[in-house]
Every structure is written in structure tokens, then in C-alpha cells.
Amino acid sequence: MKALIVIGYHKKDSFNHGIAHTIRKEYESFEKPCTVIDLYDDEFHAAFHAEKNEKLIEKYKKLIKDATHIYFVSPVWWFRCTSMLEGFFDQLFVPGFAYKFRAITKTYGVPEPLLRDKTVYTYLTHGAPALPVHTLYINSVKWRLQLGVFSFVFGWFRPTIRQFFSVPFCSDQKREKMLKIVRKDVEMEVGKWTKDDWFSDLPWHS
């Protein structure tokens, strides 16, 4: 079991970095390996910069390949993730690595995910309350990610997307409840993995 966290946000004292820190600490408490990609610390360029990004992209591809669990953490900016994380998607989720097209006619094909074996969680923090996001804006942030990005790479509706609302305006107690959800997600995944490891060691398992 190897976890990978990807965060592209410059405010180190933010709730987003609190989420990333919580995930990492949970894995450490279970003595499971967890790597953090901090795109700002790595000086990753959201708009491709060959001299600086090529080596990082190769490094990130290896980390993604090796990971069993991937966690994306981002605030919502203009109904999207941060530009840094969106640049990560643009440059990492490319044909041949993240997906390929399977022909169904001479001129049309369907995307076939190449990273279906990954368990993926995404945590999005909103400044807005839940009601307008779910109604007026038809939860476009979530569905654009799920249908327009992740379906190509990880498969239809496989990633779990959690949304936390009114984060800058809610109480510390409310934010602690949000972090409790994050911890429970990690505990559940570690529990499932540990159970599978135990079962696979049985002599009659095949």
C-alpha cells in the first residue's frame, strides 16, 4: 500500500494543507508509506516549461504508477481546482500514460483508462455554502472533474470526491468534523488493504 498526495496551493497555513497533513499523519500512524507532491515546493510550472517540468513529470509519473491510493487536495477557484493542479492534470494525464483511445469505428473511439487500479480521493474546499453550489450551479465543479477528467483516467465514477463548504466562515469545530471525515476515509482504505493482505496469505487463497 502506497499513498500519494497531490496539492497545488501556496498557503501553507490553509485548511487544504491541513487536509494533506491529516492524510499523511494517518498513514504514518498505520506505518504505511505516503508521499506528498507539493507543486509549489517543486516549482512546477502550470503552463508547461520544458526545462523545469520534464524531470518533474517523469518523477510524478513514477510516483503515480507506484501508488495504490492517490489524494488530490484543492480549493475551488472559478469552478475549478487551482491553476497549479489543473496544470498537473494537463501535463500528467496524457494519452499513452493515463488513457488511450479504443477504436469503435474508423473515425470514432472511446477513452480507455490506464490507471483504473488506483483508489482516488479528491477533497475540494469551497468558500461558498452548499445550497447554491448544488442548485444554481448544478455542482459543476464535481461533475466536470468526474466526467471530464477522471472518467478518462481512472474510470467512470471510481474516484471519490468530497466537498467541504463555507470553509473560511465556519467554526473550528466544523472544520474538525471535516478532518474527521478525511481520517475515516484513510482508516477505511487501510482497513480494506490490511484485510486483503491477510486474506491473500491464507494457504487456500488463489
Which tens digit of pLDDT belongs to each residue from 98-125?
Answer: 999 988 888 888 899 999 999 999 999 9
Asked if the 3-200 domain carries CATH number 3.40.1280.10, the reply is no
Q: How confident is the model at residue 133 (pLDDT cuts 50, 70, 90)?
A: very high
CA separation, residue 24 to residues 18, 34, 71, 136, 182 (Å): 10, 6, 10, 35, 11
- Strand-pairing partners, residue 113, are 99
Provide the 10 A C-beta neighbour count for residue 31.
Answer: 7
**Phi and psi angles of residue 41, each rounded to the nearest 5 degrees, phi first:** -60, -35
Q: What percent of the chain has pLDDT over 70?
A: 95
C-alpha cell at 143: 461533475
Query: What average pLDDT is seen over the chain?
Result: 93
| Cβ-contact 7, 73 below 8 angstroms | yes
CA distance 85 to 91: 10
Domain boundaries, the chain: 3-200
pLDDT tens-digit map of 34-89? 999 999 999 999 998 888 899 999 999 999 999 999 999 999 999 999 999 999 99
Provide the 10 A C-beta neighbour count for residue 89.
Answer: 20
| Cβ-contact 190, 196 below 8 angstroms | no
Q: Are strands 99-103 and 109-113 parallel, antiparallel or unpaired?
A: antiparallel
Cell 478518462 belongs to 152
C-alpha cell at 79: 469552478
